[in-house]
Structure 1
Amino acid sequence: MLLIGIAINLSILIYYKYFTFILNNLHSLDFEFSISEDTILLPIGISFFTFQSISYLVDVYRKTVPAQKNLLDLGLYISLFPQLIAGPIVRYEDIYKEIKSRTVDREDFSEGILKFIRGLAKKVIIANNVGLIADKAFAIPAADLGTSVSWVAIICYSLQIYFDFSGYSDMAIGLGRMFGFNIKENFMHPYKSTSVKEFWRRWHISLSTWFRDYLYIPLGGSRGSKLRTYINLIIVFFITGLWHGASWSFVVWGLFHGSFLLIERSFKIQLPVYLRFLNHLYLLLVVLIGWVLFRSDTLEYAIQFIGHLFDFSSGVDNYVLVYLNYYTLLIIFLGILFSMPVRERIKKWVLNGIF
């Protein structure tokens, strides 16, 4: 029954999100199909509520949580509106008690409002502004890109995707808090990481822990041979990339991160304390190049874009730099600043009476 339930959920997800992608790949192998791009309309949030449904089935099977006998209460969990569209992925075990009995006091409600406002500020003030520059830059033909424009583009996109996604997560967590649901944090300043392993402990935490608990560990995790562990990691990151979108660019992005994770597991290099900043620079470089793969429409464009990051050419269409005025430079600076745990540090200083 568990396998049937998982198969039904995955079948729905595969049909709506990947069916056209599969047919297009078969078509490229000379299989003839006739299907319109607009034939299948993707339901909003299907990746999130499908994974939530699967985690519920598995947790009930494992007897981690009791089965929900009330269809409306189960529907509330699967379609909880604050996080339905953009996450985070909520585990049933985290909120099933709150579905039945929850309280909202003034402190919770005010904390929820503040969390929502911070998320909205991330989205509107930072993500939208740097996203405009990134969109203009990625619209330039690859042959016309210059080194300066390429670096501006990928830095802006890195800030856009972080503040956009973490902003939505904060708004969902804040809304949930206002209604009495305590949804776990989804981002913990991933750009301060010093390794790919640490990055995935801080980036989209609900997804990485979902794959750990419901895919990596059931596959055997790291309990088998080193080769088996590596195969398990490659499978996880292959599916991680595919989960983000029906495109080979996303798959390559996932495998790109997975390959560096394997390298880190194979070669554990301990740098002296005064050289630890090199670990941070390494992580940022890997992540930035990875975002090129993630953002580019095709692999060919991504490869050319990455080449322009290091060929020190001036480019032809540097009109993107026109958007770098005092306001946007301030936004980029604030984005870089607040991608680090600055707010927590200032709060700690205030509490300790430094200010």
Structure 2
Amino acid sequence: KFAHAVLHIESMIGALPVHEATTLYMGCVDPHLTYGCEVTIDTCNSSSDVIYDVQKSFYRRLLGLSKTSIIAAIFAETGIMPLKHRRFLLQVRFLDYLLTRPLDCLARTALNDSINLHLCNKPSWFSDLIEVKSNLCPHLTFPNANHLLTATSAESLGDYSKSIFSAASQWVQNELFRVEKRSYLLCLRKEPQENGLVKYHTMCRRQYLADVYNAQHRKALTRILAGDHSLAVVRLTWADNHHVPVPHNERLCRFCKCKVETPEHAMLECLHPPIINMHASFLAKFYTIQPNAIPLCNTMDLHHYLAYIASCRLTFPILAKWAFELTKFFNATPMLIPSQYRR
């Protein structure tokens, strides 16, 4: 309800900027999703998924992504920590707090009872925490349970926040690699830095989300980067009422009918006359705005060149506009579906 209430603001003020929406999410939605997580460990995925789905749905709608979009894309683009890792972070932080309490404190006594049950191979809060740690953050090392019984500080836990964030980042990276056929632009694209250089980040709040003021353009660019666009290479992956799944090499461009209809083909390569003119117009603007721009040539890998363009901060607005206009142009013409795959 609170997630819908936050997003309902868009009906009154228009599309929410990602930064402001994230602030509202952390202030109004996240507390409900993490309430009580310190004492209720997420050992059952089926019951926890209901909570995780709220975060996914919120950010998918905010970014303009569909229900079938790559889950990892919302974390890669916004830098928000996956909820299961955030809840685990709060649980370890609670352990940190308990370890600093006096040994005769009721909360500390409860912790020690839980640790003793764990040592006796009995179910307990501490056992559940260890189980979640082994699943989410196996590289995080806890001290020996016997040591924790008498510990008077949490220093032995080390820098657990950094370890958990690294585990979350690694999970996102693994997910992107797992679905690389759709996420390759996210894997290749780099993030511009303050010093003018570019650097690869698995998770961060992307600069284009703030630099592109037109929400429709921003969402169109996000869909292109996240592999959630309406081009044939994605849409013909699944069956529907009109066709069965089409093999990858037969998902041809609806205009030139020569190459697979991918973002890089549509934005940089398609030989359909109207699109050629649009290509030329975009690249002319790109070369003008971007200092020392690398010119496109026939020998270049288009995957990498499109990722290069998506890494140039000064041209984010025109790239987003180009993505929006091109998507609109393609959507006006039905996809090319080979007759043998039609129902």
What TM-score do you get using the length of structure 2 for normalisation?
A: 0.21
Q: Which structure has the greater CA radius of gyration?
A: 2
Q: Highest relative contact order (Cα 8 Å, sep 6+), 1 or 2?
A: 1
What TM-score do you get using the length of structure 1 for normalisation?
A: 0.21
More helix by share: 1
